[in-house]
Amino acid sequence: MKNELFKKCKVCKSSITKINKQHHLVKCNNCNLIFCEKIYNEEEFIAVYNKLYNSLKPQYAVHSIKEFKDLQNGKINIGYHRKRIINKTVKNKSKVLEIGSGVGLIGMYLTKTKNIIYQGIEIDEETHLKAKGLGINSIMVIFL
């Protein structure tokens, strides 16, 4: 499965066009979904995630470690543009499902600033446990 590629849109099965060769991104010609053309197996996915976030020297160390420490200290810094988009689209009393919720940055922002029902979904156990430790409503999904 290591070298398999999507030949059609994974949602609507329409034709796709490459839009970014370096990151293997394609765009559906029908529904405009942008996604990675490569099909990763579970081991490859876990290895990439661990390299980026969970190793002794993660590639995103400054970002991921600082973000988590800030959340532990009650500091929620989601950035101006992300905050604008969220405030424009998520209304009070909304229900929000975040797929790929990480350590819970968005979940914490939403639950602290809006009256919403939040559910995060994360695939990485270590990250999921960090979110739970912060009191974020997170569930872990396991590949089958």
pLDDT per residue as tens digits for the range 10-62? 999 999 999 999 989 999 999 999 999 999 888 888 888 788 777 777 677 66
Q: What is the pTM of this model?
A: 0.69
Q: What is the pLDDT of residue 49?
A: 79
Q: Strand, coil or helix: what is 115?
A: coil
CB of 67 closer than 8 Å to CB of 103 = yes
DSSP 38: B
CA distance 98 to 76: 17
Would you place residue 2 in the very low, low, confident or very high pLDDT band (cuts 50, 70, 90)?
low
Tokens, residue 32: 């405009």
Start-end of H helices in 53-114: 61-72, 80-89, 105-113
In a 3-state reduction of DSSP, which class is residue 52?
Answer: helix
Q: Is 26 left (phi over 0), alpha (psi -120 to 50) or beta?
A: beta
Q: What is the pLDDT of residue 143?
A: 65
Instruction: Calculate mean pLDDT across residues 125-135.
Output: 93
Mean pLDDT of the chain: 89
**pLDDT exceeds cutoff 70 at 1:** no
